[in-house]
Amino acid sequence: MRREILLWFQAAYEDLEDAKDAFNRRRWFRAAFFSQQCVGKALKSLFFILRREEPPKIHSVTELYLLLKESGFKIENEESLYILNKYYTVTRYPDAANGLPSQSVDMEEAQRAIKIAEMVIEECRKILEKK
């Protein structure tokens, strides 16, 4: 397996661990952000296999997913990915959050974001194991 694939997937896994750590520290906004990052990197790891190209330099997990879907990748509950897109900005910038980023996500949202990330990384892992 190409080194780049492993690097993207390992980075995704590390982001998932960071999301869980942030959740345990009650930093909901950080948990949501790292969940979004996890999904983006996990999806990017599949580009080398499913599309035979480097992943695009975009941050929308929805766009990444739609590109992979063209190559046959499908996850259940795909609409859940739309939720993660907002965490790329609102968890970091006061103007995007219309306030403090730390107040932009509650515990339920953070928990849901982590569950989505766990689901996506597992689906990606299954594909990578086959290759």
CATH number, domain at 31?
Answer: 1.20.120.330
Can you give the pLDDT at residue 100? 85
Can you give the pLDDT at residue 102? 84
- CB-based burial label for 20 (10 Å; 0-12, 13-18, 19+): middle
Can you give the pLDDT at residue 27? 97
pTM of the model: 0.94
Q: How many domains does the chain have?
A: 1
Domain coverage including residue 72: 3-130
Taking 50 as the pLDDT cut, the residues of the chain under it are none
Question: What sections of 56-106 are H helices per DSSP?
Answer: 61-69, 80-85, 87-90, 94-97
Can you give the pLDDT at residue 93? 84
CA separation for the pair 42, 34 (Å, rounded) = 12
CA separation for the pair 60, 41 (Å, rounded) = 11
Can you give the pLDDT at residue 112? 98
| Total length of the chain | 131
